[in-house]
């Protein structure tokens, strides 16, 4: 018989957390939503676990210690830990994820998911498994299944329930316990043999096969391909077959290797692009904006974008990348008068502003805990800023006025020599749909978007947010584009060909 939870609605834990409702339970725990009485409006999830035996305390506290040290977008952030109390009850407080498990979503979709959705989940799972496996020592998750994958409202996953995760010990020949969910666990787990990163890769294969076969298969057996829809590429089937090898030595070498193969498959099949793969920035992401000409609204667009992302609970900094008086004037308007230090950082409505300064070390901002840095690079003058090329997302702001379209056409033509230009995004403020079509045809660019009239960029508007959610989804950039960012950040070389 399962133990009984001690928590009740409206009960207060630790003088700070008021219980709102129970949202789930598993074989070894209950999960509740709690309100934070110190941080008004903030909600957390709390996992209630009970010690069935005195010796369990080491395992439970080890899980908490392990999770507290982890920092990845696809893992829950642990904020507090209490217990055990006199009855052996313990409480682990973490991010509350507004969403549902992949298992619940799968059922709600009548056990049929588009292949491109499955591929996006696969990419995200590869990233988080890679992160865990690269820890010192590596962490083997060991229980990858739909009910342990949470999905938020943006389609971003969180890997939850580390109850049977363990740190890999190279000299240990077998595991003390044979754990894992039947149907998804690797064969070596059933036998109680040593598990390693390749055990998680088997679990990944089992989960993906389960999703694409409408829940009919988790093993690669004879005739299993008859259950796979025709739109699933042969290359994907090949990877699944390799992941699901009984002999762990025949499986792919790492989650990184699998991720690369899935990315290549998605790009070759035009199923995903680098801006819609479902992978997230690691650490701080960067968005750079530059204008085709003066008066196109580059700074306005940068600010508008900053507050859109801030409204989605991201921590944002916007940086003035070229000499300009724009940020100083914004600061003065906000303060209602002149400011003493025009180069100093200031904050307006939760967004941090960094005016241009020759002496500031902007590279350090990559380590200040921001989710995204937005770089306002002013107007291009025949070339592109180094950091425009290095950014996770590069946006060109241009006018849609008919008499100014020749400038945009010349700009697009001159930029075609850059290998990165195929993934650049064009913002055309105030442009009607026909104007967007004309611009796309004249420039031979497909990633062109009209931005609705938005007089106050410091406030979000539903129409603008709807457009930006497709252009700048919150879970979209593959981390390889961040490599090298900051090496030439705002160096003398990078400022060439840029004017006010």
Sorted by sequence, the CB contacts under 8 Å of residue 303 that are 6+ apart come out as 318, 351, 457, 458
Contact in structure between 19 and 8 (CB atoms under 8 Å): yes
Residue in 458, 428, 123 with CA at minimum distance from that of residue 260: 123
Q: Which residues sit in the known binding site for ATP?
A: 47
Contact in structure between 111 and 216 (CB atoms under 8 Å): no
Pairing of strands 149-152, 351-354: unpaired
Q: What is d(CA 295, CA 318) in angstroms, rounded to the nearest whole number?
A: 19
Contact in structure between 186 and 180 (CB atoms under 8 Å): yes
Q: Which residues sit in the known binding site?
A: 47
Q: Which residue has the tokens 């790009």?
A: 267
Contact in structure between 286 and 482 (CB atoms under 8 Å): yes
Cis peptide before 84 (omega within 30 of 0): yes
Q: What is d(CA 91, CA 60) in angstroms, rounded to the nearest whole number?
A: 10
Contact in structure between 374 and 318 (CB atoms under 8 Å): yes
Q: What is d(CA 91, CA 413) in angstroms, rounded to the nearest whole number?
A: 60
- Residue 107 neighbours by CB distance under 10 Å: 13
Contact in structure between 78 and 60 (CB atoms under 8 Å): no
- Residue 10 neighbours by CB distance under 10 Å: 8
């Amino acid at each position: 018989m399962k133990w009984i939870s001690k928590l009740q609605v409206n009960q207060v834990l630790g003088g700070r957390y008021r219980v709102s409702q129970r949202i789930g339970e598993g074989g070894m725990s209950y999960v509740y939503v709690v309100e934070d009485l110190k941080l008004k409006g903030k909600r957390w999830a709390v996992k209630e676990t009970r010690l069935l035996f005195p010796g369990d305390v080491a395992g439970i506290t080890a899980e908490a210690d392990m999770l507290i040290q982890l920092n990845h977008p696809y893992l829950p952030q642990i904020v507090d830990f209490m217990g055990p109390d006199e009855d052996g009850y313990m409480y682990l407080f973490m991010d509350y994820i507004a969403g549902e498990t992949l298992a619940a979503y799968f059922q709600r979709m009548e056990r049929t998911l588009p292949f491109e959705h499955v591929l996006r989940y696969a990419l995200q799972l590869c990233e988080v498994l890679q992160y865990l496996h690269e820890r010192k020592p590596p962490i083997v998750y060991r229980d990858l299944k739909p009910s342990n994958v949470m999905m938020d409202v943006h389609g971003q996953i969180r890997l939850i329930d580390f109850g049977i995760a363990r740190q890999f010990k190279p000299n240990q020949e077998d595991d003390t316990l044979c754990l894992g969910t039947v149907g998804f666990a690797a064969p070596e787990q059933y036998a109680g043999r040593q598990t390693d990163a390749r055990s998680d890769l088997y679990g990944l294969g089992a989960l993906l096969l389960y999703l694409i076969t409408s829940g009919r298969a988790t093993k690669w057996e004879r005739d299993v391909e008859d259950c796979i829809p025709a739109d699933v590429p042969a290359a994907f089937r090949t990877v699944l077959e390799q992941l699901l090898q009984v002999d762990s030595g025949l499986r792919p070498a790492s989650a990184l290797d699998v991720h690369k193969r899935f990315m290549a498959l998605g790009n070759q099949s035009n199923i995903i692009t680098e801006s819609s793969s479902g992978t997230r920035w690691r650490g701080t992401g960067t968005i750079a904006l530059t204008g085709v000409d003066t008066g196109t609204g580059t700074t306005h667009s940068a600010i508008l974008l900053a507050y859109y992302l801030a409204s989605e609970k991201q921590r944002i900094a916007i940086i003035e990348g070229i000499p300009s008086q724009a940020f100083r004037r914004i600061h003065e308007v906000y303060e209602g008068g002149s400011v003493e230090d025009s180069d100093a950082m200031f904050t307006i409505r939760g967004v941090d502003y960094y005016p241009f300064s020759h002496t500031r070390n902007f590279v350090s901002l990559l380590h200040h805990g921001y989710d995204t840095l937005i770089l306002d690079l002013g107007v291009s003058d025949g070339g592109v800023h180094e950091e425009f090329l290095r950014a996770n997302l590069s946006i060109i702001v241009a006018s849609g006025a008919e008499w100014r379209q020749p400038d945009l056409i010349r700009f697009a033509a001159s930029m075609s020599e850059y290998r990165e230009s195929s993934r650049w995004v064009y913002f055309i403020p105030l442009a009607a749909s026909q104007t967007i079509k004309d611009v796309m045809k004249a420039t031979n660019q497909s990633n062109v978007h009209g931005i609705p009239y938005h007089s106050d960029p410091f406030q979000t508007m539903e129409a603008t947010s709807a457009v930006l959610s497709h252009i700048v989804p919150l879970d979209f950039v593959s981390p390889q584009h961040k490599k090298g960012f900051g090496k030439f950040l705002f160096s003398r070389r990078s400022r060439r060909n840029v004017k006010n």
